[in-house]
Chains A and B, each alone.
Chain A
Amino acid sequence: MAVHEILAATNAVVTLDVALPGIVWPWFVTMNMWAKSIGTGVIFMLFLLLRMHPESGKKLRFHTAVAAFVFINIFLLFTLADLHQPFRMWHIFFYPHWTSAITIGSFIASAFLGLLTLLVFLGWKGQNKDESNDTYDKLLLWVTILAIPVTLYTAALLSQCTARELWQMPSESAQMILAALLSGSAFMILLGGDKLSYEAKKTLGVVLGLSALMSFIIYMSEYVFGAMKAEEIAFTLEYIKGDGPYTVMFWLGQWMTYIIPMVLIVLSRSSKSKAILKLAAILAIVGLFMVKHVWLIIPQLLPMS
């Protein structure tokens, strides 16, 4: 923990107190954010491919819908598993409290899952007619629009956690969208394989590289300047500085998710190597879990009272 300037007269030590609660939101919540990023990110990427590289995009309609469906279900499953009273989940729909991001998120995620199920069905029905699938594409537009609040609501939820100063609303929103673009493009590179043209892969690589760069800049800005804004942020960041308990995981995440993939993408463009691009994609997906986990856990280590 950070040691403020201690004067002899104000040196203070807690000598009798109750035990404080440990981690409130554990890795289940990391899983929630990670899976949701991929589930919404692949939808964004399919939408992009169908506009920029329709030849590649149209071959991936069904696969993308299935991938999004699977990851959104993982997200919902872990959200449910994290509840201490999972069988009361229905209370959200019958006693909704509209100031809560959890309520709003539950409703839009449910609507999203419904539309996604329909998208899987339409993708499956149109599997053999590669050329056009108008109904699918029209629905995809609405699914893409809905994917934006689905991916953003967690940022709203984090910002409603008044106790956790580290999570500020504008930067968390940006990080959620960037995580979706990063993991969506990475997953699409792996999912598409040879169905993607070289140009389509290049586009996905650019999205991956740029979202990694922007996300990295935001984290580094917090890392360097955060401590100057608020005492609680300064204390929280100590957990990822020096020999803090999450320093290694933080930097491992930053290198795996952002720094190495950015370098690999540049290399893959100059060497036209598919393997290097795939390696960048795998690293980004795995690393994102670590990045999200560290950011979730460190503000929970602070004593609140």
Chain B
Amino acid sequence: MKLGFLVDLHLCMGCKGCEIACKVENEVPLSTWRLRVKYVDVGTFPETKRTFTPLRCNHCENAPCERICPVSALHYLDNGIVNIDKERCIGCAGCVMACPYGAIYIDPQTQTADKCTYCAHRIASSMMPACVVACPVEANIFGDLDDASSNISKYIQVNQGNVQVRKPEKGTNPHHYYVGGGNVTLNPLASHRIDGYSLFNKITTLPLGGDH
């Protein structure tokens, strides 16, 4: 079994339901996130368009975070999930430096690394990840990539030619796909982060792990 995610960006309307569901399900502390939806405005007024991109851990098959972790706190589960053992973590932040997708944070309460686990605890009880359940338009498709008849495999088949992963050049082989993605949505360097342009949140950076 190889669990994977696919987000159809044609469907996503940026409601952030998944983001909230993740926060609640995993009690993700303030100032940190496991899953978020990024808004990027594209074009020049009046020809503009708003894009929405849910971003979470990719559960890479060749995960740099797992490789660099000195104590195997980050480890693979049999179902392909890259999981974390917070009791084992020594807080070296090597994984934060290694993950090309900025998917890991240092939990300010426990001072250990944390990230999306594809809701491994729910999967163990045969439930879907909280974000999948919360999405009103079923933009998040989750399932077994090894099973050709799973929803995710069929979706990939049907949309061949329009399936992307983030930063494929890194050789991480993500188990997280996008349909309808482009440079602006998937490449963080293709957009500007201009101070004062954010809709509600004027803070662009916060100290890692609180005030360690």
Contacts and interface: CB of A to CB of B under 8 A. Distances in A.
Contacts, number: 198
B102 A304 contact: yes
B111 interface: yes
A10 B51 CA distance: 12
B97 interface: yes
Contacts of A3: 192
A191 B30 CA distance: 51
Contacts of B103: 305
Contact of A11 (B42, B94, B172, B208): B42
A157 B94 contact: yes
A132 interface: no
Contacts of A86: 90-91
B198 A83 contact: no
Nearest to A103: B70
Contact of A88 (B40, B89, B97, B189): B89
Contact of A13 (B31, B97, B191, B209): B191
Contacts of B31: 19
Interface stretch (B1-9, B126-134, B153-161, B199-207): B199-207
B55 interface: yes
Name B's interface SS. loop
Interface string B93-117: 1101111111101100001100000
Contacts of A48: none
Contacts of A8: 43-44, 47
Interface string B39-71: 111111001001000010000000010011111
A99 B67 contact: yes
B36 interface: yes
Band of interface residues on B: 35 or more
A21 interface: yes
A302 interface: yes
B47 to A, nearest CB: 7
Nearest to A20: B205
A19 B97 contact: no
A230 to B, nearest CB: 8
B188 interface: yes
Nearest to A89: B90
8 contacts: A12-B191, A14-B40, A17-B201, A21-B206, A88-B71, A92-B90, A106-B70, A302-B188
Interface of B: 31, 33, 36, 38-44, 47, 50, 55, 64, 67-72, 88-94, 96-103, 105-106, 111-112, 166, 170, 172, 183-184, 188-194, 197-201, 203-209, 212
